[in-house]
């Protein structure tokens, strides 16, 4: 369904300003004299002006790191080096990634708006990802073949001979917490709080250079165009055809926008995000910064909603397996834990604030991990956290949890 919904954008555009004709011809996205293209294709002198290779690289690196958290042959040093990759180091299976000067850790909790003046939280967040790696290697890996129980790491199998899950002493799958936490700490933070922010888009002479058509060095784009494209890349950068995304690109933000789109309560959110990205980029070309900024606010709202919905969804799904199918429950709750962690990187439109502060998120995760963690957590606790999250968004726990 998602492939169809987004693929149709290649054939016709959707109106944001009630511009239509009487003969059912294709509708045009047009706002304040800015017209978006059918697809995310922008060219200058016949060549593309879109570039986000660094984002694609980090998505691929993140995927290998998460996979590496399930390989017991990996040491803490190996995984730490993958996370904080140095150019030329042989950390990945892909030679191109090894040659890259990019790393995941350097861009985690590293946005201009949220962390340039808040190095205390930035340092703490990076340390929390480091701690998940350390716990996986030193606690889970040595107990990989043991049966998990309250206070004891090991494996636990889903009812009916389903998947085997590998959990720490609290019942948490570190790899799931890491992966879903990285959706917020890397993809969402860099998109909403860095590249879509005026502090980055309008930094230095960016606006004057964009007005004058001054390109970024030898590249075929202005710096402002490139910054917007980099935000786009954290969502669509690993798509087979990023200009016409089908939401089959990766297991991070791309995947979970698709999951939320697939819920009837939130159908249309994927096109809302895609249309806002197209119109915002067209507005930069048209030098209309009011329209650009309005689209950034739409993206902030919708992407933040994805994080909130999936946090509630997994907490509610995990609740159903408590006491009966511990492995399924712990898997859902581990994903929920990661999405709850990602709430601190969301962004309320029109503000410089997340929907939940780090202190509020820390309170949620501390509650989830209290005592024996998921072995002890109650349905009432999961409902309390779910309701607290839903109350900050425009959806109910029932809508998100089903």
| pLDDT of 9 higher than 70 | no
174 neighbors 132 (Cβ within 8 angstroms): yes
343 neighbors 351 (Cβ within 8 angstroms): no
The alpha carbon of residue 228 and the mean position of all alpha carbons in its chain are separated, in whole angstroms, by 16
Q: Model-level pTM greater than 0.85?
A: yes
| Rounded mean pLDDT, 327-338 | 98
Grade residue 27 by pLDDT with cuts at 50, 70 and 90: very low
| pLDDT of 21 higher than 50 | no
Describe the crossing of helices 269-285 and 253-261 by its angle, rounded to 10 degrees.
Answer: 120
Please report, in angstroms and rounded to a whole number, the separation of the first and last CA atoms in the chain: 18
Q: What residues form DSSP beta bridges with 31?
A: 34
| pLDDT of 14 higher than 70 | no
CA distance 170 to 152: 8
In 3D space, the residue among 236, 256, 242, 293 whose CA is nearest the CA of residue 59 turns out to be 236
Q: What residues form DSSP beta bridges with 167?
A: 154
| Rounded mean pLDDT, 280-304 | 98
In 3D space, the residue among 353, 338, 40 whose CA is nearest the CA of residue 193 turns out to be 353
| pLDDT of 8 higher than 50 | no
| Rounded mean pLDDT, 244-251 | 97
For 33-85, how does the pLDDT look when each residue is reduced to its tens digit (9 = 90+)?
Answer: 899 999 999 999 999 999 999 999 999 999 999 999 999 999 999 999 999 99
CA distance 79 to 70: 11
Between 117 and 323, residue with greater pLDDT: 117
Residues belonging to the chain:
402
| pLDDT of 217 higher than 70 | yes
Dmax of the chain from CA atoms?
69
Strand locations in 20-75 (E): 30-31, 34-35, 43-44, 47-48
Grade residue 32 by pLDDT with cuts at 50, 70 and 90: confident
pLDDT score, position 5 = 53
The least confident of 96-100, 134-138, 158-162, 347-351 is 158-162
pLDDT score, position 30 = 60
- Give the H/E segment covering residue 193: none
CA distance 131 to 285: 44
The alpha carbon of residue 191 and the mean position of all alpha carbons in its chain are separated, in whole angstroms, by 9
pLDDT score, position 278 = 98
In 3D space, the residue among 231, 225, 194 whose CA is nearest the CA of residue 209 turns out to be 225
Residue 147: count other Cβ atoms within 10 Å of its Cβ: 10
In 3D space, the residue among 223, 252, 260, 211 whose CA is nearest the CA of residue 235 turns out to be 252
| Mean pLDDT of the residues in the chain | 93
pLDDT score, position 349 = 94
Token pair recorded at residue 99? 């040659």
| Rounded mean pLDDT, 392-398 | 97
φ, ψ at 348 (rounded to 5°) = -70, 125
| pLDDT of 18 higher than 70 | no
* 26 secondary structure, DSSP code: P
For 140-187, how does the pLDDT look when each residue is reduced to its tens digit (9 = 90+)?
Answer: 999 999 999 999 999 999 998 899 999 999 999 999 999 999 999 999
pLDDT score, position 286 = 98
Grade residue 29 by pLDDT with cuts at 50, 70 and 90: low
In 3D space, the residue among 16, 347, 32 whose CA is nearest the CA of residue 197 turns out to be 347
CA distance 254 to 277: 14
């Amino acid at each position: 369904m998602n492939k169809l919904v987004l693929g149709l954008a290649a054939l016709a555009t959707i109106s944001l300003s009630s511009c239509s004709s009487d003969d059912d011809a294709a509708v045009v996205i047009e706002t304040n004299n800015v017209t978006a293209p059918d697809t995310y294709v922008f060219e200058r002198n016949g060549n593309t002006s879109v570039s986000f290779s660094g984002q694609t690289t980090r998505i691929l690196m993140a995927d290998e790191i998460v996979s590496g958290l399930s390989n017991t042959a990996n040491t803490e040093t190996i995984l730490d080096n993958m996370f904080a990759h140095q150019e030329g180091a042989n950390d990945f299976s892909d030679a191109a990634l090894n040659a890259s000067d990019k790393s995941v850790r350097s861009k985690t909790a590293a946005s201009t708006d949220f962390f340039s003046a808040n190095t205390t939280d930035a340092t703490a967040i990076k340390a929390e990802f480091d701690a998940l790696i350390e716990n996986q290697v030193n606690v889970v890996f040595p107990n990989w073949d043991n049966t998990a129980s309250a206070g004891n790491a090991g494996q636990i199998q889903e009812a009916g001979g389903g998947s085997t899950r590998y959990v720490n002493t609290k019942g948490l799958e570190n790899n799931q917490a890491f992966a879903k936490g990285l959706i917020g700490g890397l993809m969402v933070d860099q998109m909403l709080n860095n590249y879509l922010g005026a502090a980055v888009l309008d930094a230095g002479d960016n606006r004057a250079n964009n007005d004058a058509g001054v390109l970024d060095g030898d590249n075929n784009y202005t710096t402002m165009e490139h910054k917007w494209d980099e935000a786009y890349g954290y969502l669509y950068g690993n798509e087979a055809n990023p200009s016409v995304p089908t939401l089959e690109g990766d297991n991070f933000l791309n995947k979970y926008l698709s999951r939320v789109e697939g819920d009837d309560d939130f159908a249309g959110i994927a096109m809302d995000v895609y249309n806002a990205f197209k119109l915002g980029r067209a507005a930069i070309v048209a030098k209309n910064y009011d329209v650009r900024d309005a689209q950034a606010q739409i993206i902030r709202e919708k992407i933040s909603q994805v994080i909130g919905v999936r946090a509630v969804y997994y907490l509610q799904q995990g609740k159903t397996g408590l006491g009966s199918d511990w492995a399924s429950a712990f898997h859902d709750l581990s994903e929920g834990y990661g999405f709850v962690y990602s709430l601190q990187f969301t962004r309320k439109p029109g503000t410089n604030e997340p929907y939940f502060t780090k202190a509020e998120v820390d309170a949620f995760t501390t509650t989830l991990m209290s005592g024996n963690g998921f072995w002890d957590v109650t349905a009432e606790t999961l409902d309390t956290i779910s309701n607290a999250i839903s109350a900050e968004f425009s959806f109910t726990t029932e809508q998100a949890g089903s």
